[in-house]
Amino acid sequence: MNDWLPLFLRPGWLLALVPVALVIGSLRRRRHRHGRWQALLPPALQPWLLSDSDRQRSPLGLVLLSLAGVLACVALAGPSWQQGEAQNFRRNDPLVVVLALTPDLLATDVTPNRLLAVQRKLQDLLKARQDGETAIVVYAGSAHTLVPLTDDLPTMDNLLKALRPSIMPVPGQRADLGIAQALELLGPAPSASARLLLIASDLDDRERLGIERQLQGRLRQLAILGPGTPQGAPVAAETGNYLSDAAGGIRIARLDEGHLQGAAQALGGRYQRLQRDDNDLRRLGLLERPGDVRVSDGRAPSDWRDQGYLLLLPLLLLVACGARRGWLLSLPFCLLLTPPPAQAGSWDDLWLRRDQQALQLLADDQAGAAADLFSDERWRGVALYRAGDFSGAAAAFARDPSADGHYNRGNALAMAGRLEEALRAYRAALVLRPDLTPALRNRNRLERLLAQRAAAQAEAAARSRKAQNASQSSAQADEPASGSTPPPAAAAAASPQQQAQAGADWLVSPAYAEDPLAEEQRQAAEQWLREIPDNPAELLRRKFWYQQQQREENALQ
C-alpha cells in the first residue's frame, strides 16, 4: 500500500474514513427525517410539537463533525511531505593503521619524501572509509596511539599533518609493540572483520616473531604496505642535513620487500608496495566493504518524517468547541485570542529563551541579530565583536569587571584602532590575573606597535620641520617678486598654523593614510590578537614522552 500512497506512513488508517462516512451519512439521514416534520407541521404548532433540538439543527455542525473525522483519520495515517536524512550505514570493519614513524620516512626515493607520500595515502584511505572507524598507532622504539577508533576525519587529518619522526620519545623500530598497541585498541574480542594495516619499510625477525605471538589465535587479517623503493635514498634530517650510519657514511634507507613479503605470508596477510594511485589499497582489500554492516540509527533509508501531529491542534479545537452547547459562539472569541502581528521571533519565544535564540543566531553567523537578543552583556559583547561593531563590543565588555572582561575589552578596542585604551585594558587585566598569557602577549605586541608608530611619527615630524626650515631659508634669501609673498611679520604670524599642520602631517602621511592605524597594521594587529599558539607536533611529542615516562615508572614498580 505504501507504493500507492507514498505520502502516508500508516495508510491503513485511511480505511477508517469509511466508517466515518457511514456515521456522517446516518446522522445526515436522521437530521433529514426530523426536518420532514418541520415541512409537514404548521409553523404555529412547531414550537409545541417539536423539541428544541429538532427545530435548531444546523448543517454547520454536521460539516464540522465530518471535518474532525477526516482530520483524525489523516493524522493517524501519518502524513509526510518532508523527507529526513538518509540511512547512515556504518561499516563494521574497524581498521587500525600501525605506522613506523622512524627517520627512514624522510628518505627521498619517493617524491617528495616517504612521509608525505604516506600521509597522502592515509588521507585517501580515510576519505574512502568515512563511514567506518579507523585508529592510527605510531611506533619507533615505543608505540603510541595517535588516534583511537573514530570516524572523525578532520581530527585524524589534522594529526596526520603533524607527524614527524622527532616526536617519538624512544628511537628504534619495534613493530611488535605497535601491533600490541593496535590489538589493545580493538579490545579483547575484536570483530571478525577487524583489520590491521602495517606501514613499514623493514621488518626484522624479532619483530616478525613478536607479531606472530600477538596475532596467534586472535586476528589474522593483516595487510602490509611498504613505502619507498629497493634502491633507497639518503635520509635527510628535519634540519636539512643527511643522517649518517654507524660507519659514518650517509645513511641510505631501502625498502626490504623480501622480509616484508615473507612476513606477510607467514602471518597470513598480503603485501603491497606504496603506489601513487589506489591500486595498492585495492589489492590489499582495504577499499572493500565487508558483508556484515550495522546501522548507526534505526531509521529507514528513505525516512519520511511523520507530521500528523500538525493536524492535532485544529482537531482539538473542533473537539473543544463541540463539547458544549453554543460552541459556535466560541469561534469569535478564538479570533479575539489571536495575537497581534508580532516580530518574527514570537513563535520561538514559546519554546526558547531569548538567550537561547541569540545563541542559535550566533551559531548561524547572524551576530548582529544575536546582539539584539542577548541580555548577558558578555555574550552581547561577543556578538557585537563578531558583527564588527568593535566600539559597541568594548562598551559591553566594560560592564564586566573581571580579568577576562578587561582582556576582551582590550581586544575590541584594539580592533577599533583605539590602541592606547586597549593597552590600558590589557594592563588592567594583568593586574587582576598576572598569569593571563593572552593579555600579556597582546600587551607586549601593542607596546611594540605603539613604539614603532611613535618612532614613525617623530621621523615624519622631523622631516616636516626640516622641509619647513629649508623653505623659510629659501624665502628669506630671495627678494619678493610681488605682493603675493607675505612679509616676515605675516610669515611669523602664520607659523603657529604651519606648525599645527606640520604636527598633523604624520597623521596623513603615507604610512598612516586615512587612519592613525594603517590598514596593513590593522590586519597585522588582527592576526596577532587572534593568534592561538597551536603546534600539534609539539603537543604529540610531549604526550608521547609523558606516556613513555609512565610506562618506565610502572615497569620499575
Where do the structural domains in the chain lie, given as residue ranges? 11-84+312-332, 89-290, 389-471+502-557
Least confident of 4-13, 180-189, 259-268: 4-13
Arithmetic mean of pLDDT over the chain = 76
What mean pLDDT do residues 348-354 have? 63
Mode of pairing for the β-strands spanning 233-234 and 222-226: unpaired
Q: Is the pLDDT of residue 532 over 50?
A: no
C-alpha cell of 471?
623653505
Average pLDDT rounded to a whole number, residues 48-60: 55
Classify residue 285 by its DSSP letter. T
How far is residue 505 from each of residues 143, 315, 451, 457, 461, measured CA to CA in Å?
64, 77, 18, 9, 7
Q: Which CA distances in Å does 360 have to 151, 374, 380?
A: 26, 11, 13
pTM of structure: 0.48
What is the pLDDT, as a whole number, of residue 344?
A: 43
Above pLDDT 70, what percent of the chain? 69
- Angle among Cα 137, 141, 143 to the nearest 5 degrees reads 20
Check pLDDT > 60 for residue 310: yes
pLDDT over 60 at 109, yes or no: yes
The values of phi and psi at residue 8, to 5°, are: -120, 130
- Segment 245-269 shows an average pLDDT of 88
Q: Please state which CATH class domain 89-290 belongs to.
A: alpha beta
More confident residue, 65 or 411: 411
Report how far residue 255's alpha carbon sits from residue 269's, in angstroms, rounded to the nearest whole number. 18
